[in-house]
Structure formats: structure tokens, C-alpha cells
Amino acid sequence: MEGNMESFNYGLIGSNGRLGAETKKAFTEAGHKLLLEYYKDYENIISAPDLIVDCSLPEVFAKSVELVKRYNVPFVIATTGLTEKQFDELKELSQSVPVVQSYNYSVGIQILLKLAAETEKIVPDWDIEITETHHRFKKDKPSGTALMIKDVLSKKDVNISSLRLGNVAGTHTVSFGGLGEVLTITHDATSRRTFAEGILKSAEFIITKTPGLYSFKDVVFSKKG
């Protein structure tokens, strides 16, 4: 896919954060050019970008919207913790430009969600177990992603086991057990790079789209070509 892609010029909001830095790296390696950078007290606009990416915080949201409107370009937003009001603004914005919004830009997790739902449909009578492993500092149990897995299943009483180990970035497993066999689907996030790749994929997807609000699921499962 990446091979067919024309390179483009992009703006990056929150380029100083950990996800921002990783995103910058991924875009650079893909041949795209950074023309606008913004964070806290820093603003550097070389020229008008073809697309804007936001890896920032809800506090910066207003500024991001302003920049997207100013250049009237596609927008990919990875900011977590948006308020309902901000979401409404995003919807409004998506009437004039194409927008991709997601709280989790991992392609693999999207695939796992799809495969888990499909598997349950084929063997609805099999047992299901979800397991998630994260670093010891993660306070919430179970993880949001484990709950997303549970949500795509029809069975409603699925057990989730939560493990806390060292500084594991995030491992999610869903197992289906029949008599005489077990089928297991596991996703390992080995680095933040996976999210940067998802943002890149979203940018390359949306740059040619018409206005509208897209999810990362739309990006992952869109037809190639």
C-alpha cells in the first residue's frame, strides 16, 4: 500500500510528546514532509500543509480546530479524553473536511476485534476467555481494550483476567475452547510505533476522501487500491 502513495506535506500538533515524536518519525520514513509544527508555546509554520495530525491533549483541541479550518485540510486526531462538546465540534468540522478519530490506532487490535467476533459466530457454544497483560503502573483493571473485546462478543458473561507485569506495553488474548481444541488470538503491542503506524495509515487513507467522520476501523477495513 505505502508504495503507491504520493508523498504529501503535513502539519503535526503535539510533536513534542511521546506519540508525537514517534508519529513524526513514521511520517518522515514514509517520505512525507513536515511543514507545520505546534505545541505548547512553540509554533513553526513553514507553509500550508495538505493534512493535519493531532497527537496532543484536549487543552490544545481548540487550536487544532482553528488550524484545520484555516487550511481546510483533512484531519487525523489521536487525542484521548475529548469532552462531549469537543466531540460535537469534531462532528461539525467533519462536514467541511474528512476527519479520522480514534482512541486506539493499533491495526492489530482492530483485526483481533474482527476475528474474535467472527469466531464466536462460528462456534457460539465454545467457552471464551479474555486475558490482558500490562505494566505494573496501569491502575485500571481490566484494560479499555479488553472491554472493547468483550463488547464485540454476543456472550455477555465473558471472564477477563488482568495481569500486571514489569513494563509490558500491552498484550491482549481471546481464547475459544471447544471439546478437544482451543483457538487463541493474541495481540502484542511491542512499542508505541504501532500507534504511529496507525496514524500514518489513517493520514494516507483520508487524504483523498470527501468530508465525513471516519473511525480507525474504516481505515483498517477499507478496500485497498
Nearer to its own copies, 57 or 117 (CB): 117
Q: How far is the CB of 60 from its own copies (least distance, A)?
A: 24
Cβ–Cβ under 8 Å, residues 43 and 37 = yes
Q: Residue type at 199?
A: I
Helices 61-71, 84-93: inter-axial angle, 10-degree rounding:
10
Q: Which residue has the cell 504529501?
A: 8
Residue 42 or 137 having the CB closest to its own copies? 137
Q: 44 vs 159, which CB is nearer to its own copies?
A: 159
CB of 126 to its own copies, least distance (A): 7
* 33 labelled catalytic: no
The CA radius of gyration of the chain, in Å to the nearest whole number, is 19
Task: Return d(Cα 148, Cα 186) in angstroms, integer.
Answer: 14
Q: 63 an active-site residue?
A: no
Q: Which of 24, 134, 172, 201 is catalytic?
A: 134
The distance of closest approach from Cβ of residue 217 to its own copies in the complex, given in angstroms and rounded to an integer, is: 11
Structural contact between residues 221 and 110, judged by C-beta atoms closer than 8 angstroms: yes
Length in residues, the chain: 225
Cell of 206: 483520508
What does the binding site for its own copies look like in residue numbers (CB under 8 A)? 1-2, 106-108, 111-112, 114-115, 118-119, 122-127, 129, 131, 133, 136, 159, 161-169, 175-197, 220-221, 224
Which one from 33, 63, 114, 138 is the annotated catalytic residue? 138
All three cell numbers of 177: 475452547
Q: Which is nearer to its own copies, 86 or 171 (CB)?
A: 171
For residue 32, CA distances in Å to 5, 7, 27 come to 10, 5, 5
For residue 13, the minimal CB distance to its own copies (Å) is 22
So which residues are the catalytic ones? Answer: 134, 138
